[in-house]
A and B are shown apart, each in its own frame.
Chain A
């Protein structure tokens, strides 16, 4: 058996792949949080529940309507994004003039309610969702075995993250977003509909979470608590990357997934805490996060 640093290579690469997959989810979720925080100044604690809703939406589409994985990849984010838009219009928009804390409490409470509703209806044992037939099986890469679906998750997440980055940093719409993040009053005075932009941005951030949920459905079981477990780590990722930095949250998400995977290989006892240890260290040295700008 080939060994690297006293570890079988297959195990090393296996964990790195697992880390990369986790990193894909960290990146997509922290990216959504960053987009929402940038414009709304609200830390969206409903994000985990919305990720879970994405997974459930694809399960429901399949089991109630017979709509499969590929359409669900588009439909579930649209449906969950629409619920996000309703939430923003109905509740969140009333809090913009208040302290951050209110938005945090509201979105946290709404997240708990949503999870409770799904638990009541579907229990906590988890529902199965199959891998689409085109992506079953895997490839022998020589140094490791790579399940096709997991490869797809990494690629899809990279595409979505880069597309989001491109829209925000390189397009005219993105320029509106960045400008409104800096000075919404002036952007509004140029004749741009900022409240509408805020609503749609929240919807888009939520849709990103739901997209991650659909990708997750065939890997993790579809479970009302799936978001709650993940989102704690994602918030640590966001703190490390720097709240509101787009590229920062993508890079930090993938990097921390890999760090976690490596820790599983070399010091498994620390694998569940390593991200939080990094968070503490980063906060000590750079309180605004690695990519954050100090206000």
Chain B
């Protein structure tokens, strides 16, 4: 009720409109129909997670948002712009940046070349010095071939390179997958810091204990649909339900 009252005030509707609104999203790999009407939204400055079993459609949802799924229908409105028919390079220019599950480090590029590859989209990106402060390893290894880095360093590089671009909406696909606890902590601290700086983040996570330390809300994905939304405060009370959803 309070929300409805707020929304009627001039300007308030705009302030509460989500930064990203996904509605009835469907997506296909060739003939195979993978997303069946995903609907969810993300507000400015929020960190939300997509939780779900292997093959639920989390990665496909991210690929649809950044625009690299061949066939997708429905509606994805980012910052007031409908992007469902846009090529990915234009979506990127709106300020959306993607860290793929497989990290996407280029083997024919050095670490510094990988870092400098994504062009600046908007002002306000991190400077190289700020990035090296966050990830000192990258500075030491800047001349190495990108794929000669360790798994954790590659993950840092993959995140670091999009922080330069000025994009404030990040899609992080399983940034902690396969990493040692110290590195997971470091990535958690980085996400926390980005959140404090006003970034909006969608995080895909298998590890909901980790997700709980950084996120505001959690969407549960099953067979290409959102089947539940759990605010972070209710996570502890929802453990049984989550175990059922995730089969852990």
Contacts and interface: CB of A to CB of B under 8 A. Distances in A.
A190 B68 contact: no
A255 B165 CA distance: 44
A179 interface: yes
Contacts of B100: 186
Nearest to B97: A190
A63 B114 CA distance: 49
Contacts of B108: 178-179, 181-182
B67 A189 contact: yes
Interface string A167-197: 0000010011011011101111111111000
A193 B97 CA distance: 15
Interface stretch (B32-40, B75-83, B117-125, B212-220): B117-125
Interface residues of B, number: 26
Contact of A183 (B66, B88, B104, B118): B104
B117 A179 contact: yes
A182 B106 contact: yes
A194 B117 contact: no
B113 A175 contact: yes
A175 B112 CA distance: 11
A188 B96 CA distance: 12
B89 A191 contact: yes
Contacts of A179: 106, 108-109, 117
Interface in B77-134: 87-93, 97-98, 100, 104, 106-109, 113, 116-119, 121
Contacts of A193: 89
B87 A190 contact: no
Interface string B62-75: 00001110000000
B107 A190 contact: no
A172 B116 CA distance: 8
Contact of B118 (A178, A182, A191, A194): A191
27 contacts: A172-B116, A175-B109, A175-B116, A176-B117, A178-B106, A179-B108, A179-B117, A181-B108, A182-B106, A185-B68, A186-B98, A186-B104, A187-B117, A189-B68, A189-B88, A189-B92, A190-B89, A190-B97, A190-B117, A190-B118, A190-B162, A190-B165, A191-B118, A191-B119, A191-B121, A193-B89, A194-B89
Q: What are the nearest 8 A-B pairs in CB distance?
A: A191-B92, A190-B118, A178-B108, A189-B88, A175-B113, A186-B104, A179-B106, A191-B93
Given A191-B118, A192-B119, 20 more contacts: A175-B109, A175-B113, A175-B117, A176-B117, A178-B108, A183-B106, A185-B88, A186-B98, A186-B100, A186-B104, A187-B117, A189-B66, A189-B89, A189-B91, A189-B98, A190-B92, A190-B118, A191-B90, A192-B118, A194-B89
